[in-house]
């Protein structure tokens, strides 16, 4: 088996490997081309995160989805560029909202310049994604617009918090479905659609993308707590410091509020306090890493990955289906 892309997917078929590698290389060229500006400063800011690398998870899914039609169809690579540009744009905005200092192992754009530059650079990337998208036809524009609405809605719901009486974990999973699942579902959909796959295949892959997208984000939640900055590419505990209650914290809170142990309540109090102090943040991370809430969060990640794998059942057996199935295991592996 050969490892393909920064995400580390093992591909068992040499022809599939060649197609995916060539596609990802073309996407990389497309990203640099799409982020060029006549203004050198804008080019530098727009290419800041492109040059930092990344898993290219969404382009990888476009390439695998395209295997169910003509993987060399002209719209495949541009559609992958669109979804990755959209994703990159959201990272610029997220880092401003989270006041993050590190992204993908380098200084975030807001830390490197300032918040205004980061926000405007994100807007520039959205504009460039729209330009590429316009050449893919009105149906592609409609699909992307709907996904972007869901993405923004998810972000707003996260900021607003659960409504009165709503289960906090259910609310959080709804947020992830919008913030992350929507665009990853589009990646799978675009790959199959641009390659000319039939409607049934497109539908199956879209549903697969929705579920593996949620699993992918849940794995990131675990990584934010369990890993060091070398593994995750950002400062561990960023979400904790910003007061963002990810799934491990929500599971801890549910345990503590349901009559958990004094240790549960003490750890929750620490997490809900001021974590600007590095020592307190370190204590919070250590406490969560050893807590059963992390075990439950990992189980939830596995559950969504298993659901994604099950969605593939109607597809014909072959290297692409096997690779998508293996990707579910790769996502789970990230969560330890």
Q: What's the per-residue H, E or C state across 95-138? A: HHHHCCCEECCEECHHHHCCHHHHHHHHHHHHHHHHHHHHCCCH
Q: Is the pLDDT of residue 99 over 80?
A: no
| Distance, CA of 250 to CA of 263 (rounded, Å) | 16
- Residue 134 — very low, low, confident or very high, per pLDDT cuts 50/70/90? very high
The residue assigned the tokens 């579920």 is 211
Determine the 3-state secondary structure of 305 from DSSP: helix
For residue 34, CA distances in Å to 47, 130, 250, 291 come to 9, 11, 39, 45
C-beta neighbour count of 244 within 10 angstroms: 16
Helix (H) or strand (E) holding 110: helix 109-112
Using 50, 70 and 90 to split pLDDT, how confident is the model at 47?
A: confident
Q: What is the pTM of this model?
A: 0.89
Cα–Cα dist 12/164, whole Å: 49
Give residue limits of the domains in the chain: 2-334
**DSSP helix/strand/coil, 191:** helix
Q: Nearest to residue 155, comparing CAs of 175, 141, 132?
A: 175
What is the distance between the alpha carbons of residues 54 and 52, in angstroms, rounded to a whole number? 7
Amino acid 82: pLDDT: 97
The pLDDT tens digits of the residues spanning 213-268 come to 999 999 988 988 987 654 555 577 878 887 888 899 999 999 998 887 889 999 99
pLDDT of 8 reads 53
**10 forms bridges with which residues in the sheet?**
3
Confidence of residue 1 (pLDDT cuts 50, 70, 90): very low
> What per-residue confidence (pLDDT) applies to 45?
82
Separation CA 192–CA 62 (nearest Å) = 7
Is residue 273 within 8 A of residue 249, CB to CB? The reply is no
Locus of tokens 């919070």: 284
pLDDT exceeding 70 applies to what percent of the chain? Answer: 88
Longest dimension (CA), the chain: 61
Task: Work out the pLDDT band at 183, boundaries 50, 70, 90.
Answer: very high
Over the chain, what is the mean pLDDT?
Answer: 87
Which residues have a Cβ under 8 Å from the Cβ of 275 and sit 6 or more positions away? 237, 240, 241, 281, 284
Q: Which two tokens stand for residue 29?
A: 């060229």
pLDDT tens for each residue of 22-45 = 999 999 999 999 999 999 988 888
Residue 105 confidence (pLDDT): 55
CA dist., res. 53 & res. 242, Å (int): 25
Q: For residue 276, what pLDDT is reported? A: 86
pLDDT above 60: residue 107 = no
CA distance 317 to 91: 36
Q: Which is more confidently placed, 51 or 256?
A: 256
Other Cβ atoms closer than 10 A to 236: 22
**DSSP per-residue letters across 254-270:** HHHHTT--HHHHHHHHH
What superfamily would CATH give domain 2-334? Farnesyl Diphosphate Synthase (1.10.600.10)
């Amino acid at each position: 088996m050969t490892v393909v892309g920064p995400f580390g997917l093992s591909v068992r078929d040499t022809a599939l490997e060649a197609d995916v590698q060539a596609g990802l290389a073309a996407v990389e060229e497309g990203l640099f081309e799409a982020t060029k500006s006549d203004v050198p400063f804008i080019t530098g800011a727009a290419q800041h995160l492109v040059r930092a690398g990344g898993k290219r998870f969404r382009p990888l899914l476009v390439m695998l989805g395209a295997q169910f039609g003509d993987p060399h169809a002209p719209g495949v690579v541009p559609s992958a560029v669109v979804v990755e540009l959209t994703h990159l744009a959201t990272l610029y905005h997220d880092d401003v909202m989270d006041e993050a200092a590190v992204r993908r192992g380098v200084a975030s754009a807001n830390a490197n310049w300032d918040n205004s530059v980061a926000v405007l650079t994100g807007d520039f990337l959205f504009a460039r994604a729209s330009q590429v998208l316009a050449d893919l036809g009105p149906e592609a524009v409609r699909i992307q617009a709907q996904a972007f609405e869901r993405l923004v809605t998810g972000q707003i719901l996260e900021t607003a918090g659960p409504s009165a009486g709503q289960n906090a974990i259910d609310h959080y999973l709804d947020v992830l479905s919008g913030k992350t699942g929507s665009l990853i579902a589009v990646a799978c959909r675009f790959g199959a659609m641009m390659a000319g796959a039939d409607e049934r295949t497109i539908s199956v892959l879209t549903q697969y993308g929705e579920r593996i997208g949620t699993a992918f984000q849940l794995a990131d939640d675990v990584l934010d707590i369990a890993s060091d900055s070398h593994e995750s590419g950002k400062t561990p505990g960023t979400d904790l410091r910003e007061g963002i209650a990810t799934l491990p914290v929500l599971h801890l809170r549910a345990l503590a509020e349901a009559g958990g142990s004094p240790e549960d309540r003490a750890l929750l109090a620490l997490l809900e306090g001021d974590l600007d102090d590095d020592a307190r943040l370190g204590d919070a991370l250590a406490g969560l890493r050893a807590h059963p809430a992390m075990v439950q969060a990992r189980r939830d990640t596995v559950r969504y990955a298993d659901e994604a794998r099950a969605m593939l059942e109607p597809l014909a057996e072959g290297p692409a289906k096997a690779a998508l199935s293996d990707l579910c295991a790769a996502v789970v592996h990230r969560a330890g």
